Amino acid sequence: MKGFVALEDGAVFEGKGVGIAGEREGEIVFNTSMTGYQEIMTDPSYKGQIVTMTYPLIGNYGVNTEDVESGGPKVEGFIAREFSKITSNFRAQDSLLNYLEKHNIIALEEVDTRALTKHIRAKGAMKAVISTVDHDKESLVAKAKASQNIVGRDLVKEVTCGAPYVFDEASPQSSPSSPKVVVMDFGVKMNILRMLKKVGCHVTVVPASTTAENVLAMHPDGVLLSNGPGDPEGVPYAIQEIRKLIGTIPIFGICLGQQLLGLAYGGKTYKLKFGHRGANQPIKELATGKIYITSENHGFAVDLVSIAGQPVRATHVNLNDNTVEGLEHELHPVFSVQFHPEASPGPHDSYGLFQKFKETMEGFTGNKR
């Protein structure tokens, strides 16, 4: 069946629909990863977005029940040059085409993804509509223009957990005496929880709306502020609670968690032209000069100038555009990174940050439980 993706600036790209018939709206973005399509589709940070894969062949190694980052796909739509009709991998439990259909994902192939990606790079990420039921280009562009804007929108409430829970996936490194971490779930990826367990932490996940008082009442040794979708300014309730936590307990922020910390410091965030989405972003650690290759998925960043008067320093920068990729408080045990140290998909260069967080909790001499 014929399908289209129409952008708010009037550009329309034609392709072939696979999976289900239908229509969705979202922000059109691209991801440069060669693998990891199942992790990308299930990453809650992609809520509200139509994802274009730049690698031309997607789906050749199939899907399984292990390589997921949440309870199911969160993307609004999925686009590739070609979806593999052949599945060949010893871990595969199903084909990607079946997975798309089972989870009601609207997807297009035979799209000129190179042209689409170049258009996004030149014009920026923007509102779009993906459809296999409406073939009128003018109608689709009008729908794209009228669709919801991601700026200022609270997408976190659509992906956070409904109630606190203990992440009890088996890990030989964890024990009843492990440091207790409360994860504020703004759209947390499963591999963040797995990595915390791997370094020996007891992990409890709480909804994004949990108050600072309720977090501290759980007597944790540290708080992790997770990744998540959309504009950090769209979740002011989280910012005010994070502000209360600073100085009381060790805090580690990842991706949206860093942006929320930046706002809690009194700073500002801004929307990137087309964002950072892929598994090959070069990040420089300023203290050592070491270069990490990292996985990223974000469309906003902290304005470093806006927090110049605060006791906060940059620890990492992106070598592609010099955006701030890491922050650390100079008075309190609070640090954050904009990239994804848990990867999934992506390189494992930054796994050590989870061990750093554990050691920070163990060395904290403030209020103990």
Write down all domains in the chain, each with its CATH number in brackets.
2-146 (3.50.30.20), 156-363 (3.40.50.880)
Q: Per-residue DSSP letters for 11-64?
A: -EEEEEEEE---EEEEEEEEE--SS-HHHHHH-GGGTTEEEEE-SSEE-TT-B-
The one-character DSSP state at 363 is: H
Q: Residues with Cβ < 8 Å from 112, sequence gap 6 or more?
A: 13, 81
What is the token pair recorded at 76? 């609004």
| Torsion 338-341-342-345 (CA) sign | positive
Three-class secondary structure of residue 271 per DSSP:
strand
Closest to 294 measured CA to CA, from 54, 69, 32, 43: 32
Q: Helix, strand or coil for residue 148?
A: coil
- Could you give the CA distance from residue 64 to residue 99 in angstroms, rounded to a whole number? 9
Rounded Cα distance between 36 and 18, Å, is: 19
CB within 8 Å of 218: residues ≥ 6 apart: 180, 182, 204, 206
Which pLDDT score, from 0 to 100, does residue 241 have? Answer: 98
Residue 369: per-residue pLDDT: 45
Low-confidence ranges of the chain (pLDDT < 70): 170-176, 367-369
150 DSSP 8-state letter: S
- Give the pLDDT confidence score for residue 365 in this predicted structure: 76
| Amino acid present at 182 | V
Task: Tell me how crowded residue 240 is: count the other CB atoms within 10 A of its CB.
Answer: 13
What contacts 252, CB < 8 A, 6 or more positions away? Answer: 222, 223, 224, 225, 334, 335, 336, 353, 357, 360
How is residue 177 written in tokens?
């005496």
Half-sphere exposure of 178 (CA within 13 A, CB side): 22
Cβ atoms of residues 45 and 227 within 8 Å: yes
Which residue type, as a one-letter code, is found at position 183? V
What pLDDT is stored for residue 169 in this prediction?
73
Q: Are 5 and 128 spatial neighbours (Cβ–Cβ below 8 Å)?
A: yes
Active site residues: 255, 340, 342
